[in-house]
Amino acid sequence: MRLDKRGYVPYSGPRLSILKRDLTYLFLEVKNMLLKKRSIVVLVFILFLMSFPVITSLTIGEFMFAGMKQEEVNQAILSQYVEFSFVILFLGLLLSAITVAPRISEEVKGGPLPLILSRPITRDEYFLLKFSSSFLYMFTLICVPPLLSVLLFMGSLPPSVHFSALYVLSRVLAIYLIYAFFLTALGLFSSSLMGSPTSASLFTFFLPWITEFIGGILRATLDLPQKYTLISLISGTLLRSSSGFVENLKGSSLTLWHQALALAILLPVLMLFTAYTVVKERQEV
């Protein structure tokens, strides 16, 4: 009956080791993420690039801080950090909502998850691959603009301060590393809990703003100081993670700095653990 009849040919070629298989699949996943929402990703990336002036301000600020004492910090630059954090927060959340949030939910309901898990792959490996590919993707997209910015800026500096510039660059990258970690964790957290990709995207984008709003009300009701308090960190500023972290990094005491850092890492870890547990225990794939 078939027009182009060709018999079944068995496969007798080589097989990959588990590590090589996982790395190859990781590469494919990242490539898929970039290709799948290509136009939206490009748009968000351009928006990131448009934030260059703000990023440059940040970089200048970092250079200044590198050689200045705490009391000499220019309050005007500090306020620029806050503006900057909101721009980056908005774009970062948008990126996470569009690209990371649908990643698990779209594979669960009517998606290929049953097919994937019927292969020689554990649920742990599946989750690890999802996390690694999402994190790599987010980190790359978030870090390229500031990296370019700093490197361009370095060109105009005398060689004597290049070391300081590298120090600043490492700080900026560390902050963005945490930010990418947070965005990935938030996206996968929503994705594992929500049945539909659209719900997961909306949840990812709006959750930090809602908690920020609730945090604002709580602060006002309890008559707490606006900034640099633990409740501020927990309610909203923390959910902004690294952007809040940048903000708090500059003006707060050492104790609060540590609290901010610890919470900015702990919260994403908790979100990832929840997502992992949901994926691991989900019966009906």
Partner 1 sequence: MTMPEPAEEADGAPEGGPREILSAVNLWKSYGEVEALRGLTFTFKGGVMGLLGPNGAGKSTFIKIALGLLKADEGSVKILGRDVSDFNRDVKGQVGYMPEGECLPEALTGLQFVYHMGVLSGLPPKEAFQRAHAVMEFVGMGEQRYRKISSYSLGLKQRIKLAQAIVHDPILLFLDEPTSGLDPFGREEMLSLIEELKSAGKSIVLSTHILRDVERVAEEVVVLNRGVKLIQKSMKEVMKSGGWVEVTVVGGTREFVEMLKKMGIECEVTGSKIRMEPPKEGGLFRLMEVAEEAGVVVRSVRGGIKDLTDLFSELMEEGGGTG
Residues that bind partner 1 (CB under 8 A): 1-18, 20-21, 24-25, 28, 32, 36, 106-107, 110-122, 283-285
Contact (Cβ atoms closer than 8 angstroms) between residue 244 and residue 228: no
Cβ nearer to partner 1, comparing 19 with 222? 19
Cβ nearer to partner 1, comparing 69 with 119? 119
Question: CB under 8 Å, gap of 24 or more: what pairs does 209-218 form?
Answer: 211/235, 211/236, 211/239, 212/236, 212/237, 212/239, 212/240
Cβ nearer to partner 1, comparing 104 with 233? 104
Cβ nearer to partner 1, comparing 1 with 254? 1
Q: How far is the CB of 277 from partner 1 (least distance, A)?
A: 15
Cβ nearer to partner 1, comparing 7 with 158? 7
Contact (Cβ atoms closer than 8 angstroms) between residue 157 and residue 165: yes
Q: How far is the CB of 134 from partner 1 (least distance, A)?
A: 16
Q: How far is the CB of 30 from partner 1 (least distance, A)?
A: 13
Q: How far is the CB of 142 from partner 1 (least distance, A)?
A: 23
Contact (Cβ atoms closer than 8 angstroms) between residue 52 and residue 145: yes
Distance CA 136, CA 150 (A): 21
Q: How far is the CB of 5 from partner 1 (least distance, A)?
A: 8
Distance CA 57, CA 222 (A): 35
Q: How far is the CB of 20 from partner 1 (least distance, A)?
A: 8
DSSP per residue over 142-201, as a string? HHHHHHHHHHHHHHTS-GGGHHHHHHHHHHHHHHHHHHHHHHHHHHHHHHHH-SSHHHHH
Q: How far is the CB of 119 from partner 1 (least distance, A)?
A: 5
Cβ nearer to partner 1, comparing 20 with 162? 20
Contact (Cβ atoms closer than 8 angstroms) between residue 29 and residue 129: yes
Structure tokens at 70: 């705490």
Structure tokens at 68: 């200045």
Contact (Cβ atoms closer than 8 angstroms) between residue 153 and residue 57: no
Distance CA 160, CA 152 (A): 16
Cβ nearer to partner 1, comparing 42 with 266? 42
Cβ nearer to partner 1, comparing 231 with 285? 285
Distant-in-sequence, close-in-space partners of 183: CB < 8 Å, separation ≥ 6? 92, 93, 95, 96, 100, 138, 142, 241
Q: How far is the CB of 129 from partner 1 (least distance, A)?
A: 9
